[in-house]
Structures are given as C-alpha cells and as structure tokens.
Structure 1
C-alpha cells in the first residue's frame, strides 16, 4: 500500500506547480514551507484553517473524502479522519494553540505515518495591511526507510496544493464578509 500511495501522490502532483519550498532535506528528514496571503483578518484565517473539510483535498486522504477530516483547535486536539466500519486515522495532534496567531501540531502525514518518523507542523498567522498571511512549516525526521529526503519534494507539493486550496477558501470567505 505504501508504494501505491506514493505512486498516486506522484501522479497527482505531476501537473501541480509547487508553491512551497523545500528548505532542507537529508536521508533522515526534511523541512518544507508554504506561505499564503489572504484578505481575511488573522482570527478568521485561523478559523478557516481549522475547517479542514472545506479546503483539504480528499485526494490526499486515506478515505478519499475531505468530509471525513476534522481538526480540533485546542491543545490535545486531533487532526483525524474517519474511515469505514469505525476505523480512523490520527494524522496529527495539536500541541500548542495561540488563537489567531499560531498552532503547532505533531505527527506524520501521508505515507510517513507508516514509517519510523515524526513531524512538527507550525502554522503562523500574521496580520498584513490587506488581511493576513499564513506560513505553514512542516519538519519531519526519522528513518523513513532511509529516504526521507526523497519524500521532501512530494510532501512539499502536496502541502503547496493544500495551501493554495486554503487561500482560495479564505478568499471566498473574505468575499462573503
């Protein structure tokens, strides 16, 4: 299943431009970062980030349905996914919350879940003259079958796609305001 998931990720990403940046990578880990600017004020962008089913692509989930995703914006909160027959996935756990400003989540996304890795995602939101910006920084380290650095471009592209989707959702919300 792991190699199948990687093939699906690679094929989905082939036509998707990367808006994120691989900041560093090695055989044992990597760091990627995406940034979006929106017309939403920081508190509204923070709430929008927590509304995963509205912007995260079901193509990048285990169930294939974004509606099965949830994120509790509180310490200990789960970025979880419901699966059929009572199953589920804990993608990440909320470790730090500063509403409207900063979130820190821990866990392994996608194919990293089945590897001996762990990750930290920091979501920083800052006010701008036009609304607010969000910087999503994800760092993962561990064994990853000895090839974490090879996964960096794939994770970078997946998070870039999601950041663009969040930006589009935020702009939709800003228009409705």
Structure 2
C-alpha cells in the first residue's frame, strides 16, 4: 500500500504556482500557502476542486489509485479514498476506505475548509486544516485561488524536515488542480495568509483590519482590578 505524500515522491521536481511558501513555522507546527490567479470563474474552480480523482497524484494515495477519490462538500462530509478491487468478472468492488480530510466549511465558489492530517501525518497527534479560498479578480478577468494548510501538534518528525516536503506535495496538487486553466495576467498583491484562512480572500481583505493587532485586550489590561459587584 502506498502512503499519501509517500517519501520517495517528495523530492520530485514540480513547477511552482505564482506564490508558494512555508509562511510560518515553529517547533510544533507550520503553515503552507499556495496562491495563483487563473482565467476561470470561481464556479469552474469549485467544480474542479470537488473532483480530486482528476488531479490528485496517485503517488500520494494510499491505494495506488485516485479512482476512488471524492469530496462530499457539506459540513461533516468526507474527502475520502475508496480501496477498489476488480472481481473475476471485472466488476470493481469497494474493499476498504481511508479518510484524508473532513469538511468543516463549504460555501460553493468561495471557501472549502477541511481538517485532516495528510499522508504520514495521519499517524501523528496533529491537526491539519486546509482552507481553499477563491474570488474573482478586480477586473473580472480571472479568479484568485489559495490553498492554506495549517498544521499543529505533537509529531515524531521535525518541522524542518516535514514542512518543506508537505509544502512541495501540496503545491503539486494545487498546480494539478489548476492545470486546465490558463494563468491570468494579474499582478498579485502582498498576501496576508492569515486573512485567507478567515473567509474568502475579498471578504477578509474588506472586513478585517489591515494589521493584526498585538495589543492585549482591555480585559487583560485590567486583570488585576478588583471585580465589580452587582448592585442590590
């Protein structure tokens, strides 16, 4: 049986999308971000996203095939892989399955958020959350798409060795998903990866403050004050 993100495939050279990096890392986790702008509508991207069997590399499956891959895009839905075998008559039968991720948030044409520890991380005590966001460009000439994968928890790998490997393989799936669409000639602005994890790219940029404040909330500042008593 092959493992998703199988180590032998981690060193394969792949082309990078318009923006790709391990955006943040600590001793206990990391954040991988991939962003590109293509000539397609958000609805076309959404449809493609929900057919992982058409773009996921079979080298990063558990069964050695992506024929049984599917995403049920509703809360508590599954990004799963069916293990299928042909019987003596050539009919495919499902003989097992594995969950890659579980759907937390699904807003067609805008956001798909799933949670799951991909590949070798599945055997570790970590949580991984993948947010896929998409929005039309300002000139409506294309769609800006992002993958943001946040991983945290205890694992027997070091972040320094596993984060670049996961980033590379996740980037390969991102690139494969967008292959049917031509790149859009759009200059990418500076990206705040955290905003991409909140809602859609456009909504987050419009609604969220321009900077994440590091100041302590008022409640913290007054933590030493005596409690207020209710009037009798």
Q: Same fold (TM over 0.5)?
A: yes
Name which one, 1 or 2, has greater alpha-carbon Rg.
2
Q: Which has the higher helix share?
A: 1
Aligned to 2:116: 107
Q: Which runs of 5+ in 2 are unaligned?
A: 85-93, 183-232
Q: Deviations over 1:99-143 (max 9, x none)?
A: 110111011111100111111111110101322111000001111
Quick one: distance in 1 between partners of 2:124 and 2:67?
Answer: 26
Q: Contact 1:141 / 1:148 at 8 angstroms: preserved in 2?
A: no
Cα distance change on mapping 1:149 and 1:142 into 2, 3 Å: farther
The structure whose RCO (Cα within 8 Å, separation 6+) is larger is 1
1:166 aligns with one of 133, 156, 177 = 177
Q: Please give the alpha-carbon distance, in whole angstroms, between the structure 1 residues aligned to 2:159 and 2:98.
A: 21
In the other structure, the counterpart of 1:175 is: none
Residues in 1 aligned to 2:61 and 2:155: alpha-carbon distance in whole angstroms: 19
Asked if residue 26 in structure 1 is aligned to residue 23 in structure 2, the reply is no
Aligned equivalents of 2:6, 2:39: Cα separation in 1: 35
**How many pairs does the alignment contain?**
168
Q: Does structure 1 residue 144 correspond to structure 2 residue 155? A: yes
After TM superposition, where is structure 1 displaced by more than 4 Å over at least 4 residues in a row? none
- Residue 32 of structure 1 and its aligned partner are, at CA, apart by 0.2
Specify every segment of 5 or more residues in structure 1 that has no aligned partner in the other structure, as ranges: 172-177
RMSD: 2.1
TM-score, with structure 2 as normaliser: 0.67
